[in-house]
Amino acid sequence: MSVGHTAVTPQVGTDSQVSADSQVDVEQTGPCGDDDCGIREVLDRIGDRWTVLVVVELSKGVRRFRELQRAIPGISQRMLTLTTRRLCRDGLVERTAYATIPPQVEYRLTVMGESLAEMISGLADWSRDHKDAIAVSRRQWDADRG
């Protein structure tokens, strides 16, 4: 029996009856069908306030911690630390620490991180292409309901 199936489904058009004790087949589908494609985890990661900005900045090349912080307006040291740790944990960013005084740390996208950066770039292009149409649609929506 496949994941998401709990019992045999009675065939349509037959006289078979389902007893109160038996379970009916309930198909559990999501954005990926009936498998766990990981979309929720990916959206959790890229849907936060800072991840996309960090990935975009790292798509331009290797960056030191302070370079990243200066390039992303409004991000605190704590949030940048948390974001880069999460990206490293997910295998999207590689962190290299050098034994210098003060310590020097560099971040770069992994191959997987570069593939995410390409998707983000496509989303940015789509956003740029549709920005005006979305603004018009929002104004119309607000006018019709306001």
Predicted local confidence at residue 121, as pLDDT: 93
Q: Tell how strand 93-98 and strand 63-64 pair up.
A: unpaired
User: Tens digits of per-residue pLDDT, 62-113?
Assistant: 999 999 999 999 999 999 999 999 999 999 999 999 999 988 999 999 999 9
SS3 at position 17: coil
pTM: 0.70
Going along the chain, which residue ranges are E strands?
Answer: 63-64, 93-98, 104-109
Q: pLDDT band at 28, cuts 50/70/90?
A: low
Q: pLDDT band at 5, cuts 50/70/90?
A: very low
